[in-house]
A and B are shown apart, each in its own frame.
Chain A
Amino acid sequence: MAKTEGFFELQDIRKEYALRRGLLQRLRGGAPRVAAVDGVSLSIERGAIFGLVGESGCGKSTLAQIIVRLIEPTAGKVVYRGADVARLKAEEQRTFRHAVQMVFQDTGSSLNPRKRIRRVLAEALAARSVTGAAAEGEIASLMHQVGLDAMLLRRFPHELSGGQRQRVGIARALAMKPEVLVADEPVSALDVSLQGQIINLLSDLNRELGLTIILISHDLAVVARVCTQIAVMNAGKIVERGAPRQVLFHPTDPYTRMLIASVPRGLAGRSRRQGLGPAAVDGAAAPEDERQAAAD
């Protein structure tokens, strides 16, 4: 791993959407536009677990989709291993699509309800032209890798628990032998007792396979615990970045501070609330209030 710089870079990424207005307005070209991602530049090192934190509507999922090329940015460049991914040739394009995989939040809708787990994995392997006995062997090792019993291969997605389905989602991504895994809120639909299992699995894969992981989450505590670098996103922009401890204990941006202050603190939060009457964060202007004010 001689060259770590420039492994995966986002350069001034911008993604705009036209606000839907009347037909006439759209024809006149006067429809106002909103930037979901507003000039984001990031450099992700090979082998990192990079955390991207932000609340709903901040643009983090849009950014994830740009990273895996589900959507194209309005402006800016995604550079992978020194090459602008928008200008890849067909064959390189395929390699990129295999190398950068995504794990989704909602396992209920990202797995086909009519396909058994075996078929979900077999189809992923077939995309890499692995079939027959070779595929059988790989399916078994993938299941083992994500900590699932091979018995579950015969089941349909709805017969699995949320945590098990998320493991299948990870196994499907691993079937492509990826170098980068983008996980968009992989645990937010799971119970706290199970979140750790999935996060630890991602962490193990990072360590054992050298897989670069981009972990997108609204949960600062989860991200800070396992990531090597984190970035906080608000209103389409990166407002803070750095090592987890630095961001947690010395936040410089007011939004990051509010995010930290909002995390429930158990008994400490209780005394804070009772000591001050209304909680300290209650008075802070939340993005929601700003949105409300803007609408007024």
Chain B
Amino acid sequence: MKKILSFMLMLALFISLIPPARAAQGDLTLFALDPQDNSRWEKAAIDLAGDGDTLYILMGDKVYTWQPGGEMQVLIDGILTSRNYYEADIEERSGQPVFSSLFVEDGKITVLDTMVGSVFTVESIDGGKAVCSEPVMLEMDARIEEEDETYLNFQFERSMLAGNTLFVIGYDWESGSGDQELFVWDITTGERKETSLEGVQAMCEYKDGKLLCVTCDPQNMYDSETQSYRPWTLAIYDPAADTLEEVTQVGEVRYYDARNIVYSEENDTFYLAVSNKIYRMVGLENFELAAYHPASSMWAEGKAVAAVGNQVAVFDEYGVYVRTPDPAQLPTATLSIYNYYDTPEHMQAVAALGDIPVFFSDNTYFNSAQEMGQALSSGENQLDILSVQLDWIDFNRLMEKGYCYDLSGSEALTSYVKELYPFIQDAVTQDGKLMALPYTVYGSDWHYNKKAFEELNLPVPTTYAELIALMNEWAKEENSENWEEYTLLPDEGEYKPQVFYDFFEDYEQYMLSKGETLSLDTDTFRSVMGALETMDTENVEVMVDWSEVGDDEVPEEVEELWNKEALVANYYSIGLYNQGDMVPLPLRIDENSEHFIPMHLSVLFVNPKSKNIDAAVKYLEELAKAYRKNTQNLMELSPNYNEPVLNEYYEDNLENMENAVARMEKEIEEAEPIDKPALQENLDSYKEMVEEYKVTGRYRIGEDMIELYRDCMQYAVLARPSVMNNGEDDSFFTLRQRYLDEQITLEQFITEGSSKLRLIQLENQ
């Protein structure tokens, strides 16, 4: 008997020592939206408020309540919020209370209306309908009152209410400094109060009438020596004495993330909710990680975090999450991802992983494959999954050195990758093994204004020499009649350097794609550079000395330039989206070269030294499954999907446009005779736009767009890391600049440049 009891005691002790693999008790997702639902923004949570054991959630057009162990209940229904405000007609919404942020104390609900800048209370709730008090207008210069409605030129970032004092961190775009400021009001009178506080990022109620603040020195946030942001300071603010007492520094937080804080007097615990994590300080001591959550971007005009009993609630555009912050109950298995972001696909994958928290490692940055490999090899950073763009990082080197886990064993991943373009498959495969999951691709190349070219009967260039000839021709005086309406390139400045830099980049990518030894000493390079040396577009260039222009000023000639249509441009991307009249122009290096378009591919791979390989692979599998539902993404990566995609907003947009036409017609009827011609002209132009929309707006991705994209993709090559612009060495930059400044001749440039290239390439063999 004794032995049995001893054994059971030992077993119990042993079990109690095993760290929990599952989430803490009480952790739950209170509400989740379908990440693929494009209308989720209207349905997502807007604000939270905690009052004892009750959580208040402002979401959609309702206010919900929730208590631990219970279900969400609708408290108030059918309200106007800052999300659905503009869906209502002007007449409907004028004068109506708008619920933007809630503050609840002992059941009394106070509401901040950020549309007009007022505060009111909910006096009673009758059958789910709120009966509200008269609003108290806050004293603001940023309030613009027009005939039909009032609006604010003010941006609310975070708000909190302490007693009858409202603290708002925001931007006054009307009369403020342009920087983020702290504004304080007495909500009983609306009177603005002065404060000496500066650099406040977030505030919450503390105890004894005091407040907790997270502050910084806004002029001194970045430490250039350590190349990182300085930690925030947690301080206690006494409003009565207007004094600030520093408590401690808050570390491990990204500079823009220290904005969601709350204090629970019941537990004497301060909580800071950042992307995917909740930190706590019990008794304002010992800053420690206490919980994980799925929200990556938490933003609210009021608060995105609230304390409910001994739990904390946070929200983002995908859902509302409740956590029990307790370091002892932190799960042991987590997934850390480098250089990725909270896409809908990511949220689906996270949901499928269940209890394994996933967070982004954003305090890390790798300049090269070697740096990344070194970090992976040493085990620092503890990264499980990494995202890289293959023209920034030498992914081949990572694969060769064994820094990528072999994903060939996953049927879900291999079958997904097999459907993609061959050049994409090759990029992530080594010796027949799958090493990474491609998730996005886009091209970058010259574009030309097809409509303008047809109107002006201009020849479409197919090589760089032809492009330069076109530019020279355009800049001749005899073509000046067209300069009024069109510009050659959309930007100010000299054109020769712009063309030169683009050609240089394209030349390198072309040679790399052919597997040829990179050298400037080729006939191809010489012929194009020879043409470039004849370039003379001074007549049409707009030159500005920006050092003489004020910060917010734009010179008149530049504004004129921006109002013109560009004939060609070098910064458009190639993908399945509408670029208006601009159409891809895949230039050949010369008449003997082939067309090519460098495509920038991003992939995710698993660290073979990850402690959670199975979870990491499962995450990628769920991600691939989610990406299959992202039609546009799939069509860009794979040649097999060519069905046009309807525009889900077509009907709504058309209805809005037709309503706008009706309003404009009514306006014309009521207008003065002298105003009617101008209004009629506007209406006619708008009607043309509506007719055009009926044809072009039906599909988000139409047949024409798909055909154009497929035409471009036949020239697609993988963009590779630049040898000449690797960021580690600026000797090429200096050489190019000396050539452009005419300090060295073309031959000298070619000789010196080729010599450098030869050194770089031989060194890395």
The answer to whether A and B come from one shared complex is no
Residues in chain A within 8 A of chain B (CB atoms)? none
